[in-house]
Amino acid sequence: MQCPDWNTVEWRTLEKGEIIKDGDWVDVSPDGWRDDPQWSLTSCGGQLVPDPKFSAHRKYRRVMKS
């Protein structure tokens, strides 16, 4: 699946403790604080979202269905 244009789709950042679902996106950039995000489909559905305020934790997004 091709990465959405984040400027044109509605999305939200997943919060700590939410369950990751198939179809969610994860920032896989080497340094999430300094590098531009590189969004990829997640491969860890069913796991809990880690706390995104920590730099070592990945950030997750979910496209909102209209």
Cα 37 to Cα 10: distance, rounded to the nearest angstrom: 17
Q: Residue 66's pLDDT band (boundaries 50, 70, 90)? A: low
CA 55 and chain centroid, separation: 14
- Residues recorded for the chain: 66
For 53, the domain range is: 1-66
Task: Print the SS3 string covering the chain.
Answer: CCCCCCCCCCEEECCCCCECCCCCEEECCCCCCCCCCCEEECCCCCCECCCCCCCCCCCEEEECCC
pLDDT in tens, 5-51: 999 999 999 999 999 999 999 999 887 778 888 999 999 899 999 99
| Number of domains forming the structure of the chain | 1
